[in-house]
Structure 1
Amino acid sequence: MTRTSDDGLRGYQVGGVRAELRALSVSDDREGMLEGTPHLHRRFRLRTVEKAMAATAHLYVHDLEKIRADVAGRAEEWLPREAAHARLTSWWTPEGVADPGHTELTVMWFQTAADDPFVRLASIVRPLDWAALARFVPWED
């Protein structure tokens, strides 16, 4: 379930934590591919996901094991071509942290153009464990 907060941000329930959507982007996952096959697209996607995971602390990639299995299985049907990224923040902080700050989590998934990214995000994050996935970000002076 999503709700709009007083400051106009969309709120999402992530496990037992309330988080607010700070950024959402949807892009063409096949951008940069001039030609190829569905299997090549899967390999390209996995490489892109692995680079993103190395560059972004606390990135959750929805269906990561399925993406890896698709590459190994050499499936020959095209994947949905939209890549979506969302950045969520919460005032929840881990136990024992006395510094002021917040926690954040970035979520990545793939979808078709017909899918509503806000609804899809809600269904992805609802069962997640915020405490295990999010990172603490201290306030900077």
Structure 2
Amino acid sequence: MNGARIHELRGYEVGPVRAELRALTVEDNREGMLEGTPYLHRRMSLLRIGTAMAAYPHLYVHDLDVLRADAESRLDEWLPRETVRARLKSWWLPEGITDPGHTELSVMWFQTAAEDPFARLAAILRPLEWTSLARFVPFED
């Protein structure tokens, strides 16, 4: 470790908002797949993404338009092997919210095993606008 404190390693700038990384998972997106084609794999991945986005409206999928275009053009190239999901939280609250709580955003992307997921997350988050993507989560008793 280079002397940085642990909480500094988890902080990310998302537009003007500072967010904390609360969870990061990396999964093999071909696990359980016995056979198939790159096209079929992309179509199945898009179906899973659609289901996830319906269940979690605060999920941002990086390069989703590219994935859709690749599937439509029947690109014969496999998606990168890893699916990465990150969950972030911020104490920023939307204007007019007076209830106690926080905002959160989940981000998903595909990458190779050689890539650093923390550095990739920072690059994905930099241009995003937290205020339009994150959702408010009230504190519960």
Alignment TM-score, normalising by the size of structure 1? 0.93
Please identify, of 29-38 and 106-115, the stretch whose mean Cα deviation from structure 2 is larger: 29-38
Deviations along 1:33-59, one digit per CA (max 9) or x if unpaired, are 110111111111111111111111310
Structure 2 partner of 1:117: 117
Q: Is the 8 A contact 1:58 1:106 kept in 2?
A: yes
Q: Structure 1: how far apart are the matches of 2:7 and 2:31?
A: 34
Give the unaligned 5+ runs of structure 2.
none
Shift of 1:8: 6.5
- 8 Å contact from structure 1 (residues 27, 83) kept in 2: yes
Q: What residue number does 1:128 align with? A: 128
Match of 1:35 in 2: 35
The residue identity in structure 2 corresponding to 1:16 is P
Q: Deviations over 1:100-131 (max 9, x none)?
A: 11000000000000000000000001100000
Partners of 1:69 and 1:37 in 2: CA distance? 17
Compared CA separation, residues 26 and 6, structure 1 to 2 (3 A): closer
After superposition, the Cα gap between the structure-2 partners of 1:5 and 1:126, relative to the gap in structure 1 and judged at 3 Å, is: farther
Structure 1 CA distance, aligned partners of 2:121 and 2:5? 17
The runs of at least 4 consecutive aligned structure 1 residues that moved more than 3 Å come to: 4-9
Amino acid at match of 2:38: P
Partners of 1:34 and 1:56 in 2: CA distance: 29
Contact 1:9 1:20 in 2 (8 A): no
* Paired-residue identity, %: 68
How many equivalent residue pairs? 138
**Is the Cα–Cα contact under 8 Å of residues 14 and 130 in structure 1 kept in the other structure?**
yes
- Per mean C-alpha deviation after superposition, the further-off stretch among 29-38 and 18-27 is 29-38
Check conservation: 1:5, 1:11, Cα contact below 8 A.
no
Which residue identity does 2:71 align to in structure 1? V
- 1:1-141 maps to which residues of 2 (within 5 A)? 7=7, 10-141=10-141
